[in-house]
Amino acid sequence: FYRDPQLLPQFKAIAETVVLPSTRGFLFAENAPKALRPLVRPFQRMLNLLFVRIPSYFAFRRFAQDRQIALIHLNNGPSEPIWTLVANQLGIKLVAHLRGIPTLSGSPRWICDRCDQIICVSHAIEKMLRQLYPTVSHTATIYDGIELPS
């Protein structure tokens, strides 16, 4: 909802809706001089694993169990491996909403494999996804309509 915050009240009126924080972590390597970035990135990854990712995993797992979460919606694509891992371990339905095509290597590919449904905003996005990743079979197209003033 960070791009469309006016939608949040509408979703909250329909069902309990919780916007979960990002688990991106520390991003100080991008501010390092270009020559030092390859040296700084492994340190950044280790800090993120220890101080962001692992605590986030346990906090989200506890949250999902306490609230008896039934569905997790990954808006704007497959982007959060921690939420995906918790959803799969707890048997929670996982839906990703694709507005574009992510690079399907690493985390996004792993997440796509574990989604119960991938919603594409157009047939073109669905076609590109299937061309890049032929094993994806759990897709549907729901047009991403924009209401224009009359």
CA distance 71 to 94: 6
What rounded mean pLDDT belongs to the chain?
79
pLDDT-derived band at 58, boundaries 50, 70, 90: very high
Distance CA 61, CA 57 (A): 6
Whole-prediction pTM: 0.69
Residue 4 or residue 91, greater confidence: 91
For 8-27, the pLDDT digits (tens) are 677 677 766 666 666 667 67
Residue 65 has what pLDDT? 93
More confident residue, 82 or 4: 82
Helix, strand, coil in percent for the chain, rounding step 5:
50, 10, 40
Torsion from C-alpha of 43, 45, 46, 47, nearest 10 degrees: 90
